[in-house]
A and B are shown apart, each in its own frame.
Chain A
Amino acid sequence: MEWPLNSDREEIERLIAQVAMGDRAAFETLYDRVSAKLFGVSLRVLDTRAAAEDAMQDTFVKIWNNADRYQANGLSPMTWLITIARNTAIDRLRATRKGHQDIDAPGLELAAPGPNPEQSAVAASEATRLTGCLDGLEADRGAAIRGAYLEGASYADLAERFNVPLNTMRTWLRRGLMSLRECMSI
């Protein structure tokens, strides 16, 4: 995983802290630093460039409005930013489907009450193992997790895609997640 290098991480954390204080120049710098990655993520989720551009604008509006909550959520800065971009793009994608529900940006909701927000216990080295671990899963389970994360597929979508009953799909995917966690923490 290329990012975040430590210096990058510190710089992006500092920029987010400045944005939280309403610093526009810092916001523009942050945009210039990370927008290409976030746009790449938006494009991956959404079909059209226009939709991806709109989603990325919404992403940065959320970043501007919620930067003051970043400190409390315990995520690494790039995870926070990419998670907002991913969730915003998926919400946009799902908005075109029936029975749509926002997943919003869960990273924004991690309000971690109390004076001592905890950092995520997941080390970067652990996270980098994800791809290998996903590939090590039974093919369908890996594909289901990727489908949920990168395409916003719901359990119903996945059940249809893999032609299994909903409950079977849920059991399957949970087993996949357990194997994944086990593989990653080794």
Chain B
Amino acid sequence: MSDHPTMPPEDDDMLAAEVALGLVEGEARDAARARMLQDRAFARRVADWQERFVAMTDDIAPVNAPARSRKALMARLFPARRAPLMQRLWVWQGISFAALATVAFLAVPLLQEPTEPAPGEVYATRMAAEDSALELLAVMDMSRGDIALRRVSGAAPEGRVLELWAILPERAPISLGVLPDGDVSRVALPADLAAEAAQITLAITDEPPGGAPGGQATGSVMAIGAVAEL
């Protein structure tokens, strides 16, 4: 460094103090910064002043920052790296081997955003029951607020319809509506259930056309499954 004049130590120390205070501006500031990287003695002078000046903060009382601040900071530094949806489906443990073989083509039409980098929480279940040929895969996508269903096998008994229910602890089953005909359907998940999504058990009953009278299930449970987070 030869582009700054050699200064007497006294001036050096004053410059160091000004750097520590933030009083050096413009080109002088850039030069001082560059010098700190090259000149250890000067860098140490600045450090010495920082060490002195910091005592001006001694009588500043600590104040607890709000919890949201901490949360926002951690989310900013460590964004949750969720695996893409397809990847999560592949490692889905609750699914039978037979269903696994078809999950890829099942999943693609169900989950239409395979490029979405970081989907929200996703829950899934395979719904089935003894004495029933009906089997479905259900995927609750919390970022969309809906449930995608894919029928693997079985159908409603003649003259009946299939109705989907959400079952939560200590609550009456909540009807999510009659499933339309066809193998694939999407059903909105009521917003007030989102907070309890992890506890939901999905069930399907057979009901008279138009759905369960009075919102209470009357038929038999043809398929049931508790959701698990993927």
A interface residues (Cβ-Cβ under 8 A, vs B): 1-2, 24, 27-28, 31, 35-37, 39-41, 43-44, 53, 56-57, 60-61, 64, 73-76, 78-79, 82-83, 86-87, 90, 101, 103, 106-107, 109-114, 118, 120-122, 126-131, 134, 145-146, 148-150, 152, 154-155, 173-174, 177-178, 180-181, 184
Task: Report the minimal beta-carbon distance from B70 to chain A, rounded to whole angstroms.
Answer: 6
How distant is the Cα of A165 from the Cα of B43 in the complex, in angstroms? 30
State which residues 55-84 of B face A: CB under 8 Å: 55-66, 69-70, 72-74, 76-78
For residue B110, CB closer than 8 A to chain A, the reply is no
Main secondary structure of the interface of A (DSSP, over half): helix
How distant is the Cα of A148 from the Cα of B19 in the complex, in angstroms? 11
Which stretch of B31-39, B100-108, B164-172, B200-208 is in the interface?
B31-39
- Inter-subunit contact A1/B22 (CB<8 Å): no
For residue B198, CB closer than 8 A to chain A, the reply is no
Task: Report the minimal beta-carbon distance from B78 to chain A, rounded to whole angstroms.
Answer: 6
How distant is the Cα of A37 from the Cα of B72 in the complex, in angstroms? 18
A-B contact list, 5 entries, CB within 8 Å: A37-B62, A73-B43, A74-B43, A109-B43, A112-B40
- Inter-subunit contact A122/B36 (CB<8 Å): no
How distant is the Cα of A159 from the Cα of B44 in the complex, in angstroms? 29
Chain A residue with the shortest CB-CB distance to B39 = A113
Chain A residue with the shortest CB-CB distance to B56 = A149
- Inter-subunit contact B46/A56 (CB<8 Å): no
- Inter-subunit contact B44/A148 (CB<8 Å): no
Task: Report the minimal beta-carbon distance from B191 to chain A, rounded to whole angstroms.
Answer: 29
Chain A residue with the shortest CB-CB distance to B66 = A53
For residue B5, CB closer than 8 A to chain A, the reply is no
Known contacts A121-B44, A177-B14: does B54 contact A40 (CB below 8 Å)?
no
- Inter-subunit contact A122/B48 (CB<8 Å): yes
For residue B113, CB closer than 8 A to chain A, the reply is no
Give the chain A neighbours of B38 by CB distance below 8 A: 113
Contacts A118-B44, A149-B56, A152-B22 aside, 14 further interface pairs with beta carbons under 8 A come to A1-B55, A37-B57, A39-B64, A74-B47, A79-B51, A103-B22, A106-B19, A110-B44, A120-B50, A121-B48, A126-B52, A131-B56, A150-B56, A178-B10
Give the chain B neighbours of A131 by CB distance below 8 A: 55-56, 58-59
Give the chain B neighbours of A53 by CB distance below 8 A: 65-66, 69
- Inter-subunit contact B37/A130 (CB<8 Å): no
- Inter-subunit contact B52/A127 (CB<8 Å): yes
